[in-house]
Structure 1
Amino acid sequence: MPEHGDTIRLVPKDQDSYDETMAVVEEHGWEEASAGQGATAAWTVPDEDAKVRFIEDGGTAVEYFEVEGPGRAAAAKQLQAKIEMLEPSEFRAHLDQFDDDVDAQRLALFTVATAAPEKSDAKVVKLLVEYLSHEDSLIRRTAMIAMGITRWKDFIPPLEQVRDEDPDEQIRKRAENAIEALSKA
């Protein structure tokens, strides 16, 4: 389970998991809670002393769960028992299934970045770096945004190469911006 500080982040493979989510809520007696900023819905998990927030990121269109509190691992397992979550070992297969659809490929890149663990993973770095040389400049730009989502400084050297060598001036400028953002992360 990818932990981000005191929060577990879970990203469903199927980005339309409403019915499955409601089944978990009903089965385990989760209680509706104040969603708070950025969340679409939230529940307390009384038996586990945890809170689950469902988030639909407006900038990337990625749907995911954040689970907080002392019982977060147990509450996360309740979700995982009903909803298939995207794991790092599945990132390449997830991205490969959308090779022919730019919009779906962009969502897949954002989804992978959101599902990435807090600490840098060399295999994930290598995978995302591959997209920096994609023929479509929109995919290259999306890969840079995805790198920013992870906040991993490992992306700085490949981004420096893009900044110095990409044929598209806009991509070079975006690479510089991404480098600056990751340097401050």
Structure 2
Amino acid sequence: MPRKPGQYDRIMAMADRLGWTRTGDGDLAFEWDVPGTDTSVAWERDPDTHVEYFAVVGPDRDRVAAEIADAIDLLGVDDFESHVARSTSVNWMIPALYQVATAAPLAYDPRVAALMDRYMDSSDLLIRRVAILAASFTGWPEFVEPIRRFLSDPDVDVRVAAEAALRDLSDELTR
């Protein structure tokens, strides 16, 4: 995911320079095919979290993702701690947690898990709910047990968030 949102001109220039063929665009996504491959790229904006991210699908996924990383400053695991720490209010913390979870690697990373665990244990109910939901974005089965403990949280909204996160993780694990 881009470190800074709204880099329309830079992302479009990258797609043109790399020779991607535009296959669609809408309010929330731009899509391209990578010529000579069965790989496609989407630059999307999640309608619920407002997080912008790249989705790369196909056999050349790793190569194309590396090309994107060379052209666009992406949020990486080494940046997650400072990215969230810069959030000075709940209004900034919420998107930061969603951004970290969206940018998390495909494979479990204990540094990311520790960061998410810290915010899942927040005394702020809203931060706790968001961190629980964000953790499910990773698709990591390692989050099932940590999230399960919130099914008995005193706050009903935290319990609902835990139920939703566990459903999302279950759906992800059965794909």
TM-score by length of 2: 0.84
* CA apart distance, 1:54: 1.0
| Separation in structure 2 between the aligned mates of residue 176 and residue 75 of structure 1, nearest angstrom | 35
SS of aligned partner of 1:42:
strand
Q: How does 1:1-185 map to 2 (within 5 A)?
A: 11-34=1-24, 40-46=29-35, 50-98=39-87, 100-164=88-152, 166-183=153-170, 185=173
Alignment RMSD (CA, Å): 2.3
Higher relative contact order (CA 8 A, sep 6+): 1
Which sits farther off after the overlay, 131-140 or 26-35? 26-35
| Separation in structure 2 between the aligned mates of residue 25 and residue 180 of structure 1, nearest angstrom | 35
Query: Residues 153, 41 of structure 1: CA spacing in aligned structure 2 closer, same or farther, 3 A cutoff?
Result: same
Q: Which runs of 5+ in 1 are unaligned?
A: 1-10
After superposition, the C-alpha distances for 1:26-68 in whole angstroms (9 at most, x for unaligned) are 22232211359x9611112225653211111112111111122
SS of aligned partner of 1:59:
coil
SS of aligned partner of 2:4:
coil
CA contact (8 A) 1:55 1:64 kept: yes
TM-score by length of 1: 0.80
After superposition, the C-alpha distances for 1:61-106 in whole angstroms (9 at most, x for unaligned) are 11111122333333223222221111112211111111x2212211
CA contact (8 A) 2:37 2:60 kept: yes
Aligned to 1:7: none
CA contact (8 A) 1:48 1:74 kept: no
* CA apart distance, 1:140: 0.7
* CA apart distance, 1:119: 2.1
Q: Which runs of 5+ in 2 are unaligned?
A: none
SS of aligned partner of 2:24:
coil
Q: Which amino acid aligns with 1:171?
A: V
Q: Which amino acid aligns with 1:88?
A: V
| Separation in structure 1 between the aligned mates of residue 37 and residue 170 of structure 2, nearest angstrom | 38
CA contact (8 A) 2:136 2:169 kept: yes
| Separation in structure 2 between the aligned mates of residue 72 and residue 160 of structure 1, nearest angstrom | 33
Which sits farther off after the overlay, 65-74 or 24-33? 65-74
Query: Residues 43, 181 of structure 1: CA spacing in aligned structure 2 closer, same or farther, 3 A cutoff?
Result: closer
Q: Which amino acid aligns with 1:76?
A: A
Kindly tell me the number of residue pairs found equivalent between the two proteins. Answer: 172
Aligned to 1:6: none
